[in-house]
Structures are given as C-alpha cells and as structure tokens.
Chain A
C-alpha cells in the first residue's frame, strides 16, 4: 500500500463519518449513478456549463455526462422512485468537472431536503448542518456569505417596470450575481430607435388586443409561417411591448435609485433587514411578505445556534443557476487560506418541477467540498 492509498482511506473515513452525522440527523443516504443524461444538466444550467462537463455518447446517440454535482442526480432518483415527500437525502461521492487543469474529479458530500412546507425552519436547519460539516473538519466559525434570490424577485415585482425590464433584471441578477456593477450600463442601454418607431408610436395606447390582432394579420399577409418555435401572437405581443420599452426611456430614475440602494445593502442579517424595511417604506414598495420570511429565517437561525455576527448578508449575493429561488449561502475559510467556498447551498423550489415533477416540491440543500474542507481544517 502506498502513501496515496493511505491518504485516500483516511480521507474517505473522515468523509464517511460526516455522512454518519447526516444519517443520524435522519437523512437517508443515496448513491445516484455516476453516468447521467447530459440533457438535464445542459437544460438546467445552460451552455456555460457544457465546456466543464465530461461528455460522452452511448450507442443510440444519447448524450451522457459524468455527474458534475449530486443535487440533480439525487432529485432525479427521488422522482424515478416516486418517493413520497417530505424526504431527506444525504450523499458522499465523486463529482466531475473540467476546471481547465487539475484532476477533474472532486469529492462532495451533502444533503437535500425535499418537500418541507415549513421553509424558513428548513432553511435554518440546512445552514446549521452545513456549519456542523465545516466543524467536523476542524473549521470553527466559518465566514457565512448569504443572499436571498426570492427577495430580489419580490423587489423587482414591486417596482413599476415593464415585463421586459423585469425579465432582464432577474436574468442579469441570476447570471452574474454582480448586477450592481452592470447597473450603470443598464441605465444607458436604452436601445436605438426602432425603424418601426413611427408605427409603434401610433399603436401605443391603442386597445392591446386589437393591436395584437393587427400585427398578427400583417405577419400572415406576408405569408410568414416559419416563426422558429415562437407563435405569431408572441411575436406580435413583444413587438408591441417595445413601444412601452422605448417610451419609458430605460429604467426610470426612481427605479434606478431604489435598485442601487437595494443592491448596496450588506451587513449582519438584522441590520440588513432594518435597512430593507426602511427602503420599502421610503420607496413605497410592498415587500412585507418577503421580509416577513427573511425575519422568520433569521429567528430560526439564531435559535439553531448560528452566530449571526459571522453572517454577511448581502442583497447582491446570488447564484448563477436560475432554479434557486430563496436563501443562498456559501461558507468560507475564516483564515482565508482556502479561497474557494467550503460549502455552498440554498433553496431551489423550481428544480423539481423543471425535472418533471407534476407537483411543486420546495427543496433546500447544500454540497460540501471535501478537499477544500480538509485544506481549511489542516491550515
């Protein structure tokens, strides 16, 4: 036996003990297949992921990949088994990602909690278990970075914006998590005048249904049938939407100020909550439901023993995967020796539906990066 094997056994032993911890907390261990249909990952995570996937094809031409995480495989397993909810799962195994160099395979352990309706309590429990995982490797007092994707959705919904601007803000927030930096360019990005400007202006303010029928008629007169997967109605609707987008002159100053103020809020959760309430009051926005949930979650976190002074809540903190819907968090090495997140998790209420579940299943979970935890714990 060489040193490497000894290392591997010791490592697995420690991670196995972590899974024992999850099992004692009533999470059922699952071992989803390593080989997964690539479609699920590409459809859910987008093209940016493709170059990081290890892809292969079976004899029937079906595209397969080595699992790049265990969240989607675990959720798929749950659906395949027609398992009842609530259900709690835990896992430990390899994931495969091409990070441009390096081994390409990494050890992950984690939990997924599916179907709990007491969402704020489930969020807090998930975070507590994530902190326990770090402690298991000797990392005390992890730095907790936290955001809330659902809060941003509620905020954008409360603003007086055209549907196109809402879509755009949500997409940019999800994609980069650094919308604040893009905001100045967004302000300037009022598009150049359309060649149809005159016609759009004439149609603006007219009866929407009649205008839509008019544009649909024009398209059919032109003999256009190939619309590439979009209906004539959709095209007409968005064509008319441009009228409102153009005349509104971008975002509008009031919205922009509110958005900038929202995205600059950062601090411990209680302070951030107070600032958010002040913002809602000053800008006359109804965020009460979303803020209520945030407050409850903070309460459960404190009750679960989370030291709130170690939490850096930031409204601009998001996740580049659009199935996340609520709390998102990452744990970092308090000594800043390891730069990557040690544990990453959050609430993803959209995922189960996107994977084909007939009913909506709320879900929350995290993944712990074993190598990073070891390094942070050993430092």
Chain B
C-alpha cells in the first residue's frame, strides 16, 4: 500500500496534458491494465501512486484530504472550497486547461456594460416583476461570492449541469456564469461578457491538500516528486550558454548578469576562459551577441533537461503550510 496518492484526471485532454506534464518532469504514470484501471503506479517515486478521478472528484478529494496531490482546474478548487487557501496549496500552474469564469448577459442588453449596471438592472427587474433575475451556473459558490462583492442582492441561482450558455435563450435564466476559453460559444449564443465580470482566470494546477495525512513516508515521496517537478520547471525557463575565450573574466560575468539576467552557478571562468552561463530564453540572443563582441569565437546554447538545485522552493512552501 502506497503512502502518497496523486489524483489525476481519468480521461480526455486534461489527462493527456497531465501525463505530458509529469513525463517532462521524468515521472511516468503507469496504468497497469490500459485505461480501465483506476489506480496507477509511479515507478520513479517510491511510495507514490496515482488515483484516476474526474476533475470535480479531485477537488472534492483534496478538500477532504483523501488524496495528497491532485491535478485539477483552479475554478473547481475555488468552487468546491470557499476557504480554499486554508485547505489546499496551489503548488504550480501547469500551463494548460486555461479558462475564465465569467458573467455573461444577452448581447441585446446594450445598457449593461459593468457589474454596476447589472446590479441596477437586477434591482429594477425584481421591483417590476416581483421575482428575482435568475443566473444559470454550475459555479454556485463563486457566483455568490462575486455577486456579494459587487453588492448584487436581487438574483437567484439556477443550478445548471451542462449547456449553461443556452439558458437565456430557452428562458431558464436571464444570464449565466460559466467558463469560456475563446468566447466563441458565448457569441454563438448571443451573449457577451460583462466588462468587469471576469470572476477567475483559471488553469490546471498541481494542488496539494493541507488536510491529508502527511507522515514521514508521504513527505519523502512528496520531496522526490516536487524535486523533479521543480528541476523541470527551472530547466524549462532557462538556457545553458557555453563559450571559451581569453577575455572571459569575473567582470564580464558581472556585466552579463546585470544586462541579461545571466548566472554562473558552476563558478566563474576557468584560467583558460571556459564559461558556462544560465539565462532566461528571452535574453539568449542578446547575450550571444555580447559574448562575441567581447571576443568569443563560438557560443553554444542548449536547453537543459533538468536543473536540480539544493533548495526546492515548491517543497519548502508545502512544508511551511502543513507544518
């Protein structure tokens, strides 16, 4: 029986992206009997296993502390747990599953641009009809908190499991709160996003449950997991720049640091002028020009696979939260 359990989406694009993310970090998730098994193993990390769950279940399991880590959208985390920051830690945004949770109204409402307009319309609607304006959504908690923040009181939520964007057209609701990526589904349904009506800019996250059982074995496995993830994350945003020329000295390294954000973690140039720098991808070309201007014949640039550092900020943050 493994100690550390990681919740991973059980199907679809989200699962593919999650697998790709772990693979980049040198972590393979193995489903023993193809896609039919709901438990998976992680050969690289001792004492860790995978639970395949739906994205919504992952948020729920994180809330209860039934799993230690999970890959799920921030939208579901915040909807499931109104006090999310006390119960989970968003370890890292994973760069996929982007979606905004927005307030959308019919395009025909030319008098509604802002949440303040919506507030006024909701109050007038209630006063005139004796019933409240209805908001179709599956994000009940996010909607309630956001509307309260904007002082909107005259509305009712109609829970909607799917095809929320169709609710105004069918008369099931007057407006909606839903996720959108490109806005094309909203436009196709003659809806528009209220200007200051973006509730949350969400993406898939690696999320840690603060309420899970964090014993010695779980911590060890978490450290190994986050070590790989941190090493890959740093490597992804770093280029290795190598050269060798006489004029390479400590002064040149200091200038490269100031102008291009370059670091020399392996030490300064050797006596023969061997130099290894790390820098962000954005400044690679300027740095290469600079080095050649100072006398380099050849500058080699490579993308490192991993950069392991003594310190692991992801793990340190987790430990500081769970105590």
Contact = CB atoms under 8 A, between A and B. Distances in A.
A149 B111 CA distance: 30
A247 interface: no
B111 A228 contact: no
Given A167-B127, A194-B113, A46 B156 contact: yes
B109 A230 contact: yes
B310 to A, nearest CB: 44
Contact of B106 (A172, A227, A353): A227
B302 interface: no
A87 interface: no
- Category for how many chain A residues contact B: 35 or more
A43 interface: yes
Contact of A226 (B106, B130, B153): B106
Contact of A43 (B108, B117, B125, B132): B132
Interface string A29-52: 000000000000011001110110
Contacts, number: 102
B268 to A, nearest CB: 55
B123 interface: yes
B290 to A, nearest CB: 46
A219 interface: yes
Interface string A152-172: 000000000000100110011
Contacts of A215: 110
A107 to B, nearest CB: 29
A192 B155 CA distance: 24
B213 interface: no
Contacts of A238: 111, 120-121, 124
- Category for how many chain B residues contact A: 35 or more
Nearest to B130: A354
Interface string A182-223: 000000010110111000000000000000000100010010
At the interface, is chain B mostly helix, strand, loop or mixed?
mixed
Contact of B168 (A42, A191, A194, A228): A228
B147 A226 contact: no
A219 B131 CA distance: 25
A189 B116 CA distance: 9
A47 B51 CA distance: 36
B298 interface: no
A242 B114 CA distance: 12
B135 to A, nearest CB: 9
Interface in B40-68: none
Given A48-B144, A50-B144, A172-B151, A239 B124 contact: no
B108 A42 contact: no
A235 B157 contact: no
B154 interface: yes
A226 B105 CA distance: 10
A50 B157 contact: yes
B107 interface: yes
A242 B111 contact: yes
Given A194-B113, A228-B175, A238-B111, A171 B156 contact: no
Interface string B93-125: 000000000000111111101101101110111
A99 interface: no
Contact of A196 (B108, B110, B131): B110
B124 A235 contact: no
> Chain B CB within 10 Å — which of A164, A191, A219, A238 has the most?
A238
Contacts of B190: 224, 226
> Chain A CB within 10 Å — which of B109, B132, B133 has the most?
B109
Contacts of B215: none
Given A47-B155, A172-B151, A228 B120 contact: no
B110 A235 contact: yes
A307 to B, nearest CB: 36
B254 interface: no
Given A46-B132, A47-B147, A47-B157, A229 B171 contact: yes
Contacts of B134: 229
A194 to B, nearest CB: 7
> Chain A CB within 10 Å — which of B105, B111, B174, B175 has the most?
B111
A191 B117 CA distance: 9
Contacts of A50: 140, 144, 157
B214 to A, nearest CB: 25
B169 interface: yes
A196 B273 CA distance: 66
A261 interface: no
Given A167-B124, A219-B110, A235-B110, 12 more contacts: A46-B153, A47-B156, A47-B157, A168-B120, A191-B117, A222-B108, A227-B109, A229-B171, A230-B109, A238-B121, A239-B110, A239-B111
14 contacts: A46-B155, A46-B156, A48-B153, A50-B140, A164-B124, A171-B123, A224-B107, A225-B108, A227-B108, A228-B106, A228-B173, A230-B174, A232-B108, A241-B111
Interface of A: 42-43, 46-48, 50-51, 164, 167-168, 171-172, 174-175, 189, 191-192, 194-196, 215, 219, 222, 224-230, 232, 234-235, 238-239, 241-242, 353-354
